[in-house]
């Protein structure tokens, strides 16, 4: 594991070492949301680094101009070559013994390093589509048993191609938001009619989400290699 001059990033029990650098969108106090990466117990303000000229520029002339936005979509659309260049440059700036342009500049360091305890996280991108995959066999079997019966729990094609279905993109939120208990009709055993109320039991599922960063045209088919290239990153998801 690479070591950073930010000591909290070297904690073996920490979630955000230098080899991770996950992207997000954050704000502090009354400031507007902007893009950053997590490292140790700090959030690195990418807009500050961009304005200081420390991040890669497209074509060598102009700054990318995307990290002051309250979402990552514009950055994601630039593609994996730009993603890799930014990550490599950040590693140079943050690794121990690397480029000292950030570490040696006290004013810049104070502006760019935000303690996580003082940062508020936001949904990092506009979610335009949300596809859920029925990819866990045990989960698919249990759900199929409830809808049909154990003998016909798995659809015939499930073992050949995991089933996917569209979810509600408008319900995707960042960590820390309250979960609103769904309302609906409930009919207790022996009752003559249902009543309207909140659900009595609420399920939750720990899942892994893939964030597709590159757009594609309607009807366009992607190979496995092309699909992998389009993935910007992964997130933990509570469904």
Catalytic residue positions? Answer: 139
What residues have CB less than 8 Å from 180, skipping those under 6 apart? none
Q: Are the CB atoms for 44 and 116 separated by under 8 Å? A: no
Calpha distance 28→32 (Å, rounded): 8
SS3 letters across 128-184? CCCEEEECCHHHHHHHHHHHCCHHHCCCCCCCCCCEEEECCHHHCCCCCCCCCCCEE
Calpha distance 164→42 (Å, rounded): 37
**What sign has the CA pseudo-torsion 49, 51, 54, 59?**
positive
């Amino acid at each position: 594991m690479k070591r950073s001059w930010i000591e909290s990033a070297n904690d073996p029990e920490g979630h955000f070492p230098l080899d991770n650098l996950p992207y997000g969108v954050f704000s502090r106090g009354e400031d507007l949301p902007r893009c950053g990466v997590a490292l140790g117990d700090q959030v690195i303000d990418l807009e500050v680094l961009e304005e200081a000229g420390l991040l890669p520029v497209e074509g060598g002339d102009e700054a990318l101009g995307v990290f002051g936005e309250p979402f990552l979509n514009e950055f994601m659309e630039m593609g994996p070559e730009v993603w890799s260049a930014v990550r490599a440059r950040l590693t140079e700036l943050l690794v121990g013994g690397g480029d000292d342009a950030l570490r040696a500049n006290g004013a810049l360091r104070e502006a760019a390093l935000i303690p996580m305890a003082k940062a508020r996280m936001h949904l990092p991108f506009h979610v335009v589509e949300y596809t859920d995959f029925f990819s866990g066999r045990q989960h698919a079997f249990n759900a199929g048993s409830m809808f049909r019966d154990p003998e016909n729990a798995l659809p015939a094609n499930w073992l050949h191609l995991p089933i996917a279905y569209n979810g509600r993109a408008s319900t995707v939120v960042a960590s820390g938001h309250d979960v609103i208990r769904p309302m609906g009709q409930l009919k207790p055993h022996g009752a003559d009619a249902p009543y309207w109320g909140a659900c009595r039991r609420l399920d939750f599922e720990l899942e892994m989400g893939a964030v597709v960063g590159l757009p594609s045209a309607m009807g366009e088919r992607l190979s496995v290699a092309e699909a992998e290239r389009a993935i910007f990153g992964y997130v933990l998801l509570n469904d």
